[in-house]
Every structure is written in structure tokens, then in C-alpha cells.
């Protein structure tokens, strides 16, 4: 089965959705997703989204991002992300996204490795709030079609250029989708791990396909382990206990209920300390206590975490909960430039499957949603520019032809 579209987007998380919203409305766009449309990690993001609060915050925000990333970050990308952050927040608010407020102003929280509060949030379901609102906006677009339970199996290549993708739908029918431009927004690699906060169907398909075609990859060893997920012996995805909890005052204890680490250090540092403590104690988890957070804050800021833990038999307002590190985020991926272009012409990559260098070797908390949105919008704008260039070139050629015809007739 063959079909032709102007643009095909692989993935329906925030990066894919935001790209669709910023692409030309006169282009026929097909979005595919491996599972149902809501089973993307974007829906799972709890903590929030970073923003540059004012110009005085720039140096601090830049340094926090670089330090968390062990200074392996691409400085140009970090600068672009930070400078674009307020524009992105304005876009989101325009699409109906609601963020917590303190009076008439936005409220800001702090997470690990941040030197000051600069994270906007919606309770502890910020990802769900943003992604669901963007999805609702995309569904209003007449030029966008979403195909669920459709898996990319390869990219189509002609003369070294990407001309679309091959896919397989839930009926196991093979489809060749030809397109002017392809955007890979297919998420991370958590499905390859036994313990991960990711959905299990996110297995890095785009990475394998890129390797097959010699598309440039970068930093495949940059994998982030989140220090605090709810410990469970049940199989399946691990429930994340947001870093915002520690940002609001939660502390980590060993088996004797003694504090053993500064909870606001970068994620990789906290993870190492937890693993060291578990080995020392001979346990398979440590304890997280919210005793220093008042009950009202827990219920209002972390209602989802509170409810989930209650369902698992823990009342976080009264007792410690067992936590353990688990795979969380992929900082490496398909190499892209500052406009999210890959090393193959007409192929773009955005979100967690791409590597634009923003995060370095370890992502700073709450930079993921922002990075995905900033660079998916840049991809859309670059594609928009290509179409404008093509149209201008066609007009010039038509003008030259008309002039030649005129002179021919006049002659």
C-alpha cells in the first residue's frame, strides 16, 4: 500500500504535536504513533517546564544546565533553548495550557541542580496538561491526520534523501508513505530496560533505522537514571516520584532513617549515592520522606503522586515510601543541527530521539519539555522556509519563461 503526504511525523508526544501546530496549514500532514495517541512519555512528565524568568537569570540558568550536563552540552543549543523559553510559554498559554499561579503571577518551583526556582508547573501532571492541550489543538486541524497503532519500520531513501517512511499498521499491513519531509519524534529507549519510567513500546526504533542508513548518531551512552521511582516487585513501568518533591523539601533516608545525601544535587549524583547506600545497607531500596512538606502542599502540588501511593498502600503525609533508581531519559540519539536537521536531507528529528546537545551527559530537571518544544518549532519553521524557497524559485522560473515567451512573440 502506498500513499503520498507533504509531511509525515513519527510520534504524537509534545515534540511531534508542536511541530504539526507550527507547520504550514496548507500542507497535508500524517502523524503516526506506535500505540494509542496518549501513550507517550510526554503525558507522564510530572515536574514542570523551565523558563528564563528574566535577563538576570540567564547566566545562572545557563550554568545550571551546563553543570548538570558535565559541560558536555552544545553551548549554542543551550543558548537557543533558554532564549526561546518565554516565547514557548506564551505559545502554550495561547493554546490553553494552565500553569499554577501565586495570586495573579505564575508560580515557580525548584528541582535538583537548579540554583533558583524557575520551573512552571500544573500540579504534578504538567506533561499531561501540556500534551493534552496540544493534542486537542492538533485534532482541530483539517490538514492533519493521526494514525494510531502504526509502527515505522524503515525510512524511504532515494538519491541519499529521505522521501518518507515504511510502516506497519495494527492489521499488519505494510505501508509506504512518501513525503517531502519526515520528522522523527518517536521518543526514548526505556522499553529496552527492565526498570524504566518509560512506556515499554518506546524501544528506540528510529535509532536502529538511522544506524542502518548511516545517519549520524551521537552520545548513545548518555542515558539518565532517575534517582526516585516508587519501589515495586511488580513487573512493568516504574512510577516516577517527581524531583519537585525533593525540591519542596522531601529527604532521603537509609534503612535506619538517617539522611545520607543532599537531595538537590544533579540526578546522576543522587542516583550514585542511592546505589552506594543500598549496597552498604544490603537493601533494594531507600526511603523518601515528605515529613518536611505540609499536608496542604502535598495534596495540592502532588495530588497524582499522593493518590498513586495511597493505591499502593502508602500515605505519604504520614509515612516514608520506598524508592529506587530506574532508567528515565535518553540524552543521546540522532544527531541534529540547531534546526533539528539530521545528516540526511529532508529528514528531521526532535524530542528525546534526537541529540541537539542541550542536555550534555545528564539532563537538568524540567528541561526536557522545553527542549522538545523549542527545537520542534525550529524544525517546523525550517521546513516552512524550504517550502517558501521552492515556491519563490518556481515563481522566478515561471517569470523567466513568461519573459522568454514574450520576447519570442515580440521577435
| Residues annotated as part of the active site | 267
Question: Does an H or E element contain 335, and which?
Answer: strand 333-335
- Orientation angle between helical segments 126-139 and 368-410, nearest 10 degrees: 30
| 213, 64 Cβ separation under 8 angstroms | no
Residue 230: helix, strand or coil by DSSP?
Answer: strand
Query: CB pairs under 8 A, 24+ apart, for 400-404?
Result: none
Burial code (b: 16+ CB inside 10 Å, e: under 16) for 22-40 equals bbeeebbbbbbbbbebebb
Residue 288: helix, strand or coil by DSSP?
Answer: strand
| 9, 31 Cβ separation under 8 angstroms | yes
Burial code (b: 16+ CB inside 10 Å, e: under 16) for 359-398 equals bbbbbbbbbbbbbbbbbbbbbbebbeeebeeeeeeeeeee
Cα 289-294-298 angle, rounded to 5 deg = 75
- Residue 238 has a CB neighbour count (10 Å cut-off) of 25
Q: Hey, what's the cell of 70?
A: 558535565
- Residue 105 has a CB neighbour count (10 Å cut-off) of 7
Amino acid at each position: 500500500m502506498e500513499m503520498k503526504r507533504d509531511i509525515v511525523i513519527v510520534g504524537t508526544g509534545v515534540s511531534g504535536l508542536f511541530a504539526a501546530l507550527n507547520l504550514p496549514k496548507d500542507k497535508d500532514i500524517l502523524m503516526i504513533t506506535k500505540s494509542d495517541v496518549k501513550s507517550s512519555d510526554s503525558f507522564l512528565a510530572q515536574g514542570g517546564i523551565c523558563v528564563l524568568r528574566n535577563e538576570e537569570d540567564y547566566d545562572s540558568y545557563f550554568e545550571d544546565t551546563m553543570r548538570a550536563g558535565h559541560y558536555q552540552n552544545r553551548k549554542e543549543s543551550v543558548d537557543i533553548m533558554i532564549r526561546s523559553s518565554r516565547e514557548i510559554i506564551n505559545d502554550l498559554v495561547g493554546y490553553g495550557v494552565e500553569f499554577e499561579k501565586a495570586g495573579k503571577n505564575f508560580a515557580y518551583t525548584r528541582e535538583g541542580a537548579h540554583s533558583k526556582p524557575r520551573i512552571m508547573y500544573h500540579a504534578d501532571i504538567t506533561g499531561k496538561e501540556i500534551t493534552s492541550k496540544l493534542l486537542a489543538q492538533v485534532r482541530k486541524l483539517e490538514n492533519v491526520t493521526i494514525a494510531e497503532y502504526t509502527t515505522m519500520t524503515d525510512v524511504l531513501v532515494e538519491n541519499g534523501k529521505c522521501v518518507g517512511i515504511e510502516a506497519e499498521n495494527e492489521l499488519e499491513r505494510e505501508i509506504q508513505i512518501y513525503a517531502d519531509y519526515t520528522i522523527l519524534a518517536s521518543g526514548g529507549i526505556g522499553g529496552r530496560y527492565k526498570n524504566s519510567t518509560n512506556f515499554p513500546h518506546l524501544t528506540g526504533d528510529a535509532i536502529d533505522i538511522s544506524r542502518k542508513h548511516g545517519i549520524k548518531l551521537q552520545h548513545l551512552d548518555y542515558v539518565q537514571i532517575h534517582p526516585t521511582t516508587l519501589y515495586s516487585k511488580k513487573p512493568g513501568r516504574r512510577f516516577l516520584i517527581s524531583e519537585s518533591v525533593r525540591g519542596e523539601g522531601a529527604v532521603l533516608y537509609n534503612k535506619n532513617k538517617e539522611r545520607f545525601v543532599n537531595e538537590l544535587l544533579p540526578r546522576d549524583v543522587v542516583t550514585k549515592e542511592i546505589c552506594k547506600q543500598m549496597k552498604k545497607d544490603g537493601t533494594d531500596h531507600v526511603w523518601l520522606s515528605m515529613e518536611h512538606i505540609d499536608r496542604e502542599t502535598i495534596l495540592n502540588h502532588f495530588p497524582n503522586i499522593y493518590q498513586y501511593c495511597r493505591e499502593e498502600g502508602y500515605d505519604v503525609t504520614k509515612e516514608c515510601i520506598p524508592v529506587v533508581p530506574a532508567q528515565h531519559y535518553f540524552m543521546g540519539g540522532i544527531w541534529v543541527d540547531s534546526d533539528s536537521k539530521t545528516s540526511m536531507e529532508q529528514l528531521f528529528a526532535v524530542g528525546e530521539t534526537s541529540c541537539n546537545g542541550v542536555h550534555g551527559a545528564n539532563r537538568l530537571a524540567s528541561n526536557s519539555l522545553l527542549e522538545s518544544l523549542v527545537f520542534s518549532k525550529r524544525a517546523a519553521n525550517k521546513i516552512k522556509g524550504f517550502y517558501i524557497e521552492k515556491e519563490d524559485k518556481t515563481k522566478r522560473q515561471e517569470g523567466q519563461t513568461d519573459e522568454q515567451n514574450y520576447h519570442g512573440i515580440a521577435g
